[in-house]
Amino acid sequence: MILKLFLGLSLLTLAGCSSLYYDAMEKIGKEKRDILVQRIVDGKKDQEAAKKQLKTTLEAFQELTGFEGGNLEKTYKKLNGEFTDSENRAKDLSDRIASIDQVAKDLFTEWDQEITVMKDRNLKASSQKMLRDTRARHQQYIKRMRQTEKKMQPVLQGFRDQVLFLKHNLNAKAIGSLKNTATKLDSEVGLLIQDIEGSMSEADSFIASLTAKES
């Protein structure tokens, strides 16, 4: 029964029926703030998965550029598979960023509307300040996430170029010509991983600020 409920909620989200989704979540005790926190947590998991997959793809590329005999076709297919997985992880992360941004905007809209009906000036002013602070933290966080998302594209394009080149020229000479790009890709992946880790730290900070207001 619980599984069916969550599958139904997922379908509502995919269909873009935000109000129905939020209503359903409220019935099981989940407010927009709870949903936002969970999506940020899930976003961290997506970032970690993307980071690991980039490392694995780089290792597959390094293995191929160091090829010294054996089944070249099999080695190439492994690289191509790892690259495809990297693209999928990047897509998952982009989708997650969009979902985080959407629920945050919906939360802020609801928060704004609720403030308008408050009569106590002190409480109203305090709530307005919390909203400004939370919105600012979200903007800082989502900006960092978008930067990471943007920086992933040149790295993925670099891998894509290599994979397609190898597909067109699957021979030892082609592999030899790729060795000159191995160092560049290694550096780019290393910098991207650092950026992902920084973005994950930003997520921790934002989660802490959201959950602190609940205590």
Q: Are residues 21 and 122 in the same domain?
A: no
Q: How far apart are CA 173 and CA 178, in angstroms?
A: 9
Which pair of tokens denotes residue 146?
């978008």
162/168 Cα distance (integer angstroms): 10
> What is the pLDDT at residue 41?
96
Domain containing residue 94: 32-212
Q: pLDDT (tens digit, 9 = 90+) per residue, 95-107?
A: 999 999 999 999 9
Does one domain contain both 92 and 150? Answer: yes
Rounded-to-integer distance, Cα 56 and Cα 169, Å: 23
pLDDT value at position 65? 79
Q: Are residues 47 and 21 in the same domain?
A: no
Whole-structure pTM value: 0.84
For 134-158, the pLDDT digits (tens) are 999 999 999 999 999 999 999 999 9
The answer to whether the beta carbons of residues 103 and 32 sit under 8 Å apart is yes
Asked if 89 and 52 sit in the same domain, the reply is: yes
Task: Tell me: pLDDT of 6 over 50.
Answer: no
| CA–CA distance, 22 with 110 (Å, rounded to integer) | 12
How far from the centroid of its chain's Cα atoms is residue 114's Cα? 31
Q: Are residues 23 and 105 in the same domain?
A: no
Say whether pLDDT at 62 is over 70: yes
C-alpha 168/C-alpha 181 separation (Å) is 17
| pLDDT, position 1 | 47
Q: Is the same domain home to 17 and 40? A: no
Read off the pLDDT band of 63 (50, 70, 90): confident
Statement to judge: residues 18 and 64 lie in one domain: no
Q: Are residues 107 and 38 part of one domain? A: yes
